[in-house]
Structure 1
Amino acid sequence: MKPEPPILSEGLRLFFPAAAIHGAIWPVIWVLLYAFDLPLAGSVPTSQWHAHEMIFGTYGMALAGFLTSAVPEWTNTPRWRGNSLLALLGLWLPGRVAGLVGADWMIAPSGLTDAAFLALLSWAIIDPMIRRRNTSHAAFAVWVPTMLGLEIAIRASWILGDHALSQTLLQSALIVFVILMALSVTRINVVTINHAIDPTGETRRYRPHPGRRNLAGALTALYAISAVILPTSQAPAFLALAAAAAFFDRLAEWFIGRPLFRAEVLALACANLLSGLGLTAIGLAGLGLPIAPSAGLHIVSMGALGLAVIAVLSIAGLRHTGRDLLLPGWSHAAFVLVLVAVLVRVLPELGLADGLVGPHYALAALAWAAAFACWLRGFLRFMVAPSDESRQELTVG
């Protein structure tokens, strides 16, 4: 019997490169070939296709890689591997083709495959938790199915031509990813900070504050719900500011002295900081201050989530292939490029870089794509190579 290739032995080995390829290639095609237009675009605004692809394309596949590897660790159940992973990948791909060309006739069929992908991913999370009666990570079993519901609603609103509703739903999906990011970082940060403090692993000096584990995510969830049901009220703005305060409070977890300046630790801290800054901008804009609401959304979508995703791809990519947590220079370059992308994209919206107005769309997209290309350059060889199982560690707490 032909041996199974290493890339099919665990979800992150296949899905992390798929997410990075999507993040590296799709923006380049949009910028260099399409000039931000889509060749078959119809009634759906191209900006919504682009937002959908960032959330359900790049971030969706990165989330699948993380959860199909982390949940078996949390529940002590077998990993999904081989054909099961290929089935998930096969369901994810049609939606990416639709997002690349923007054809209206592909909305329904690619929506069905995207929904099937999220439904299968939800089952991969819920089933082992039920079998092991594990409730400590049950929040993921709530929010991933929520993404499934939002995907169905977005596709339905596109088909019905209600693009104002689909825009609101896309923003809600983005905020749900912020919640998932907060939950994921809380868990992966335990190993990351302890390793930074004591690389020998002989001690585990850091323990997360119990009150901080879920507060930021819970307040962000309240903001997302209120933004949908109370769109004309100022209540969502105040809840956004409350969620921002919770993210700022979490920064205390990174008061660890010099180890903070290790790239993997600093990237997670900056992702948390940018979440707070983005939600602050959203809240202040909602209260009537002269801040473009899109600025806050881009700080969150490109800055906070971009850094968090690259960090998780790097940290878990090393640990789950049996390597020490010493990030290669390609990861450092990816972190810098994500920050460049968000600064170039946001500063003109804040009136701080008028000279970039116009070219900033293309420059930000190219810097963003280059960040994922750097990760691929540094990590693809790890994903396809056998690992030393004896050196693997848990990447989550």
Structure 2
Amino acid sequence: MSTNVFDEQRVKAPPVLFSYGFRPFFLLAGLSAAALVPLWVCVATGAFGLGGSIPPSGWHAHEMLYGFAVAAIAGFLLTAIPSWTGSVAVKGKPLMALVALYLAGRVASLPALADSVPAALIDLAFLPALGSLVAAPLIKAGKARNTAFLALLGLLTLANALFRLEWLGVTQATAQLGIALAIGIVLQMVTVIAGRIVPSFTQNALRQKEPTLVITPLPHLERAVLVLTALLIPADLLLPGSVATGALALAAAVAHGVRVSRWKGLHTLSQPVLWILHVGYAWIPVALALKGLEYAFGLPLGRAWLHALTAGAFTTMVLAVMSRAALGHTGRMIVVSRTTVAAYALVLLGATARTLLPMLPDGAWTPVLHSAGALWTLGFALFLWVYVPVLTGPRADGRPG
């Protein structure tokens, strides 16, 4: 009888790819990263055009945010929230429907289709749908710091609407506001999530060799980091490029720098799965410092801060979290392979090259852009090589999920 029950449960189980949220969305994030950047390099260097009426640079920003970053955010939230709240993970048909909506949004964002109302509505529906699936367990858990993620998803939806309204011809110059708002919200998410996982993962791992190691939080510092980062959002919307915004960015850079310096990053050099988290977070104070130097002191850095933040901090943290979580949630040892370490190195080199690009002589622009794109693409190709079998195959320990 127990065998029959086991067989019945196995028959009713969803396909492996849709048994947990990280599986399809981490896969889609990796595929997006590997496809969008080489496509953009070809467009930016004039190899071919995108067609349609959407500005190519606006489309690139939109898809890196709502194609790549949002897929990673969805995978993380659908995986972390069951752990935070003790709720049942979204899986099976609801997860399939959410993935289908995400994919429909990517089609609806193609330049040839993006300037229509139906396309806008399809793309705008994804984040509210994600929010509806995670709202109940977050609200039931009753912790304000968790339910704040619902507000952040709402603001990301608003930022997307600012893109779409301009593309529909309803407004003018709101896509740039959408970019600023979306980047600010993603930075806030990274700041909150990293503050939870980086010191915790680091301390738990290092205590095996250093039992007395403790990473003591400083509540005043944590509040300062969160407040300064949050204040950058209205500053970028209302006072873009101003001295005041630059000063705020410098203050936030110092706070983030002090924060990451206390997380014992130098103790993690023998464990790539840990040091990549520290390196990814360290891009944040670098990016904010570049932003502050440009805005407050007028240094001609060509908005190098933008790609230090997006290609550097956001992308490295996404890669770090995906590579770690995929192992842990599929019953594998949390030790990354040499191929994954090579992926880390390539993406970091690509981010560095892209950050330095605005400060290089004009003659270096095209070859360095090609190099940055190639490094990024190869890095994510290696990630996919290692993790497609992990994300699409059964757990190593035979358990469901």
Q: Give the TM-score taking structure 2 as reference length.
A: 0.88
Q: Quote the offset at 1:331 in angstroms.
A: 1.9
Provide the residue aligned with 1:241 in structure 2.
250
Aligned CA-pair RMSD = 2.7
1:96 matched to 2:94? The reply is: no
Moved more, 288-297 or 78-87: 288-297
Runs of 4+ in 1 over 6 A off after TM superposition: 200-204
* CA deviation profile, 1:24-65 (whole Å, cap 9, x unmatched): 1222334458846543232x3201100111111111001000
Q: What whole-Å deviation, never above 9, does each CA across 1:45-87 have from its counterpart, x for those lacking one?
A: 2011001111111110010000001011111111000111111
Structure 2 spans left out of the alignment, 5+ residues: 1-10
State the partner residue of 1:131. Answer: 140
What CA distance in whole angstroms lies between the structure 2 residues aligned with 1:36 and 1:146?
35
CA contact (8 A) 1:303 1:342 kept: yes
1:53 is matched with: 63
Aligned runs of 1:190-205 on 2, under 5 Å?
A: 190-199=199-208, 205=214
Comparing 156-165 with 141-150, greater Cα deviation is found at: 156-165
Alignment of 1:160-175 (within 5 A): 160=169, 162=171, 164-175=173-184
Mapping 1:249-264, distance limit 5 Å: 249-255=258-264, 257-264=266-273
Query: What is residue 395 of structure 1 aligned with on the other side?
Result: none
Distance 1:219 1:247, change over 3 A: same
- Report Cα offsets for 1:101-124 as digits up to 9, x if no partner: 412554533322222110011223
Mark the CA change 1:236 to 1:18 in structure 2 (over 3 Å): closer, same or farther.
Answer: same
TM-superposed CA distance for 1:139, in Å, is: 2.7
Aligned residue number for residue 93 of structure 2:
83
Deviation at residue 366 of structure 1 after TM alignment: 2.4
In structure 2, C-alpha distance between the alignment counterparts of 1:257 and 1:357, rounded to whole Å: 34
Distance 1:319 1:203 in 2: 25
Residue 39 of structure 1 is matched in structure 2 by: 50
Q: Secondary structure at the match of 1:326?
A: coil
Match of 2:80 among 39, 64, 70: 70
CA shift digits 1:182-236 (9 cap, x unpaired): 1121222144203430359999844544344454333122011122123474321
Greater CA radius of gyration, 1 or 2?
A: 2
- 50 and 199 in structure 1: CA distance in 2 versus 1, 3 angstrom threshold: farther
Q: Which residue of 2 is the match for residue 385 of structure 1?
A: 393
Match of 1:265 in 2: 274
Q: Could you tell me which amino acid in structure 2 is paired with residue 373 of structure 1?
A: A
Aligned 1:170-181 pairs, distance under 5 A: 170-181=179-190
Report the Cα offset of residue 142 of structure 1.
Answer: 2.0
Partner residue, 2:338: 329
2:157 is the counterpart of 1:148 = yes
Letter in 2 for 1:362: H
- Show CA shifts across 1:251-299 (max 9, x none): 2233255334421222111122211111111122112422335211011
Count matched residues.
389
Give the match for residue 117 of structure 1: 126
- Distance (Å, rounded) in 1 between the aligned partners of 2:301 and 2:288: 12
1:228 aligns with 2:263: no
Identity %: 30
Per the alignment, do residues 390 and 135 of structure 1 end up closer, same or farther by CA in structure 2, a change over 3 Å counting?
Answer: farther
Alignment partners' CA distance in 1, 2:393 and 2:283: 34
In the alignment, is the contact (CA less than 8 A) between 1:147 and 1:173 conserved in 2?
A: yes
Given the alignment, which residue of 21, 24, 46 partners 1:14? Answer: 24
CA distance in structure 1 between the partners assigned to 2:41 and 2:324 by the alignment: 30
User: Who is 1:24 aligned against?
Assistant: 34
State how far apart, in whole Å, the 1-side matches of 2:133 and 2:221 are.
27
Cα gap change, 1:373/1:197 in structure 2, threshold over 3 Å: closer, same or farther? same
d(CA) in 2 for partners of 1:223, 1:122? 24
TM-score norm. by structure 1 comes to: 0.89
d(CA) in 1 for partners of 2:349 and 2:313?
13
Please point out which of 349, 369, 372 is paired with 1:340: 349
Task: Establish whether residue 297 from structure 1 lines up as the match of residue 310 from structure 2.
Answer: no
The CA distance in 2 between the partners of 1:9 and 1:196, in whole Å, is 28
Q: Deviations over 1:157-201 (max 9, x none)?
A: 222275533113212211211111111212221442034303599
Residue identity matched to 1:54: M
Q: Which moved more, 1:239-248 or 1:104-113?
A: 104-113
CA distance in 1, matches of 2:327, 2:207: 17
Q: Are the equivalent residues in 2 in contact too, given 1:111–1:151 (CA < 8 A)?
A: no
Give the 3 Å change call, closer, same or farther, for CA 200–389 of structure 1 in structure 2.
farther
| TM-aligned CA distance change 1:201 to 1:387, over 3 Å | farther
Asked whether the equivalents of residues 182 and 217 of structure 1 are also in contact (C-alpha less than 8 Å), the reply is: yes
